Structure 1
Amino acid sequence: MTISANAQEGTWSVSVETQQAKEGGFQSTIHVKHVSPEGDFERTFHQLQAFAVEREAVLEGLREGMTWIALKTTRTIGV
């Protein structure tokens, strides 16, 4: 079974879907999106860690995406 989830904060959104990891367990693909008058921004990345439980992969994927947004909005990282 594949689980997906999303979260929004202002003009930012994170969506996550899981897939089975090659080494066993589950990993997520994380999509971060920002909509603004200056232009839309999208970034997709994959979790490196595999989780035994699919639900944990989804929750960690959302956490990683929201952390990425926090770092981007505070200008800690520039991509």
Structure 2
Amino acid sequence: MKKTRPRRPNGRWVYYIMYEDILWPCPVRWEWESGYGGWLPFYYSPTFEFLVGDPEKAQRIAKSNVRQRRDHDEHAYA
């Protein structure tokens, strides 16, 4: 019987790292690692290295409603 893996975390994720006194948001790409037995966040660092991060420290980016924000800004200037 084939063992199924859990679903990949959905949505947009970033991993924040400190590099040269600047906090960098690095986009995450989740990849399955069978040795670890789960999904791990991989990201490109500011030095363009492809690294793996701690899954607990990856941050999910909330969806923003651009249309609602645009309507709010138009009414503010009217």
Please confirm whether the aligned pair reaches a TM-score higher than 0.5, indicating the same fold.
no
TM-score, with length taken from structure 2: 0.36
TM-score, with length taken from structure 1: 0.35
* Structure number having the greater strand percentage: 2
The structure with the largest alpha-carbon Rg is 2
